[in-house]
Chains A and B, each alone.
Chain A
Amino acid sequence: MSPAKKKRIGVFICHCGKNIAGGLNIEALIESSKQIQEVLYVVDNKFSCSEDGQVDIQKAIQEQKLDRIVVAACSPSLHLMTFQRCGEKAGIEPQFVDLIDIRKWTMHGSPQKIAPEKALEKSKKLIELAVKRMRLKRLIPMAEIKTEQSALVIGGGVAGLEAGLDLADKGYKVHIVERLSTIGGKMALLYKVFPTNDCAPCILAPKTAYANIHPNITLLTNSEVKSMGGHIGSFHVKVVQNPRYIDTDKCTGCGECVEKCPVKVKDDVFSAGMGERKAVYIPYDQAIPKKAIIDAQNCLYFRKGVCRLCEKQCPTNAINFGQKPKTVEIKIGAIIVATGFDEYDPTEKSEYGYGRYNNVITQFQLARLLDIDGPTKGQLLRPSDGKEPKRIVMIQCVGSRDMSTNPYCSNICCMYALKHAQIIKEMVLPEAEIYICFIDMRTVGKGFEEYYRRTREIGINFIRGRPSEIIQDTETKNLSLKVEDPEIGRLLKLEADLVVLSCATIPSSGTEQLSKILGLNLGEDGFFKEMHPKLRPVETNVRGIYICGSDQGPKDIPDSIVQAKAAASCADGELRKNKIKLPQFIVNASKLKKGGR
């Protein structure tokens, strides 16, 4: 074979104003870069990404006949595309344009900032490595593939529904996979939503109802994603539909089976443990699809081989005890992940006695109690004795902003505490005294500050301070708390009939497993990690898979909707091309063995 053709490599070093130039010796970096094998041209730019900077790069490519370039500047997730487009315009194959981040070591405020000498040494090495990588890099053979005109949405909460409906309205076939037996997610169980105090299921219903009848949407409830293969444009997903033991084509949702069922169990999911349901049940009146489901763990027939009352009662013969899990294989072009959040379980915060003291509940449980269609039909009665509480204390930031549990702020807890305080005061127990113990009230959002002000005006008491401990009176089951209010410099002792913990939002159970199935990165907080926290908040490390809503981080409904629309727009942007170019080896990936991640 003849010797490999010499490459003509250019290195462009960006000052990024003072962000890089202020933190290392650019002249020294230029000199060392000139010494690297097959580097023909080295120059610095004040701002490589600026119009002038890009023109300079293009001029150099043409005048020096460069065939590969390395730009030493900032993060590839931010600007690689910029420089690839810039190089392509001057005639360089985008694959032969590389961007390396040297700014992380020099920029003020960067967590990785180091001393100038060290930054210079590290930058020298990184440029050397990148040049070598570019010098030896062979062109990746590309293949053109047709994109499936369909998408999968994982999660049937408000974010997933919004994304699914957007795509379905654009003409794509959409499969919505929901783990529970009904779509609607957490929003359907919130009773009311801030800052308008609208009825949550009422404003959600247009979306759930539309998703149910949309000609382009297939709902797969009681289902879970089990495996995924393929690539953008052509993902292959296996979904397992768990048995309902009900023939959904026959079930009319009349509820006669529910009425006859003799087994009552605590409803941990749809009543947050505040009420009961039968072993055969319909989650709630607005459930979609409104079909019954049998809980095999508690059904007498599955446990002991007796009963079958539901079967005898059903007017349409819809009960089918022989149903098995069914695997559905779906081929789609893009995936949107909208798996939402769970409420933090405060049992580990033993100082608050949750799980030991019946009268300590969470805000999500309170939402279910306040719901006029909930387990207590809107009556707020304390769990220990069924009496109306006269004094209620809410504790903010339980499991949030807490280094021993979750350091992040859960974003929505201040607002939902205000909402519940307003509902109790104005609609349920006007005479009740309500106290909110907080660290800071964070009410950032349209109409939120006004909502906070209104909550103060209607007589809710605010105490700046986090109670250290809750003690229960063993006879009355009343609770006492001590909290130091620095604003008045006093230790306050509060007596309460009911304590409500404003718990953190955490990634929904199964997030980690799903991240492994889809190959998605998770952040340190356990939520799905976006491609760039500011500029690419719904894209992920896997092209063609997008995230939205609370699975990316705690957020309220409007923000979830915005993200859902963004994710749908990103998916549409790729799918509408009809054909996309991908590396040949990605297309042929099925021929390669799958790895062990």
Chain B
Amino acid sequence: MEEVYVEEFMSPGCVGCPAVREMLEEFSKELGDKLTVEEVDITVDTTRASQYGVMSVPAIAINGILKFVNVPKKEELKNAILEELERQE
């Protein structure tokens, strides 16, 4: 079971969010079914953001754990996703 579920917290007008989106789209192509990305607009799904304690966007949770509250470096984000894939094996 090699899978990762990424919750990408964003909001309309967020400056850093498109960069995160772009990275995740690239990883999705690379990893195929192993990676599921869900975009969570914190202005709409306030409960989810509140549960995670997300107060600024972009923020990224991987398999339920908030990992980044900024625009991570591409390598950092990729490593975090890969670590999670390996962790479950």
A133 with B57, Cβ < 8 A, contacts A541-B50, A594-B70 known:
no
B87 surroundings in chain A (CB, below 8 A)? 1
A136 with B64, Cβ < 8 A, contacts A583-B53, A596-B71 known:
yes
Chain B residue at smallest Cβ distance from A516: B56
Contact B46 A531, beta carbon cutoff 8 Å: yes
What separation, in Å, do the CA atoms of A136 and B81 have in the docked complex?
13
Contact A132 B15, beta carbon cutoff 8 Å: no
Does A76 lie at the interface of the complex (its beta carbon under 8 Å from any beta carbon of B)? yes
* Min distance, Cβ B19 to any Cβ of chain A, angstroms: 9
Contact A592 B68, beta carbon cutoff 8 Å: yes
A111 surroundings in chain B (CB, below 8 A)? none
A585 with B66, Cβ < 8 A, contacts A4-B1, A132-B5, A136-B3 known:
yes
CB-CB contacts below 8 Å: A516-548 with B: 519, 521, 529, 531, 541-543
Interface SS of B by simple majority: loop
CB-CB contacts below 8 Å: B35-68 with A: 36, 38, 42-43, 45-50, 52-53, 55-59, 63-66, 68
* Min distance, Cβ A467 to any Cβ of chain B, angstroms: 38
What separation, in Å, do the CA atoms of A594 and B7 have in the docked complex?
18
What separation, in Å, do the CA atoms of A582 and B3 have in the docked complex?
27
B68 surroundings in chain A (CB, below 8 A)? 592
Contact B69 A519, beta carbon cutoff 8 Å: no
What separation, in Å, do the CA atoms of A390 and B50 have in the docked complex?
57
What separation, in Å, do the CA atoms of A589 and B3 have in the docked complex?
26
B3 surroundings in chain A (CB, below 8 A)? 132, 136
Interface SS of A by simple majority: loop
Chain B residue at smallest Cβ distance from A596: B16
Contact A4 B88, beta carbon cutoff 8 Å: yes
Does B89 lie at the interface of the complex (its beta carbon under 8 Å from any beta carbon of A)? yes
Mask, A572-597, CB within 8 Å of B = 1, is 00000000001101100100111111
Chain A residue at smallest Cβ distance from B36: A132
Contact B70 A129, beta carbon cutoff 8 Å: no
Residues of B in contact (CB 8 Å), total 37
Chain B residue at smallest Cβ distance from A77: B47
CB-CB contacts below 8 Å: A54-81 with B: 75-77, 80
Cβ-neighbour of A231 out of B11, B45, B53, B58 (below 8 A): B53
Chain B residue at smallest Cβ distance from A228: B55
Does A206 lie at the interface of the complex (its beta carbon under 8 Å from any beta carbon of B)? no
Does A510 lie at the interface of the complex (its beta carbon under 8 Å from any beta carbon of B)? no
What separation, in Å, do the CA atoms of A123 and B59 have in the docked complex?
26
Does B24 lie at the interface of the complex (its beta carbon under 8 Å from any beta carbon of A)? no
Contact A138 B11, beta carbon cutoff 8 Å: no
A76 with B47, Cβ < 8 A, contacts A136-B5, A140-B64, A596-B15 known:
yes
Chain A residue at smallest Cβ distance from B7: A133
Contact B56 A137, beta carbon cutoff 8 Å: no
Contact A138 B50, beta carbon cutoff 8 Å: no
A140 surroundings in chain B (CB, below 8 A)? 52, 64-66
A32 surroundings in chain B (CB, below 8 A)? none
Contact A129 B56, beta carbon cutoff 8 Å: no
B56 surroundings in chain A (CB, below 8 A)? 519, 594-597
For the complex with contacts A4-B1, A77-B47, A136-B63, 17 further pairs of A-B residues with Cβ separation under 8 Å are A1-B89, A132-B5, A140-B64, A231-B53, A521-B42, A521-B43, A541-B49, A543-B53, A583-B66, A585-B53, A592-B70, A593-B70, A594-B56, A594-B69, A595-B57, A595-B59, A595-B71
- A sample of 9 cross-chain residue pairs with beta-carbon separation below 8 angstroms, ordered by A number, consists of A4-B1, A76-B47, A139-B64, A519-B55, A541-B42, A541-B50, A585-B65, A595-B58, A597-B11
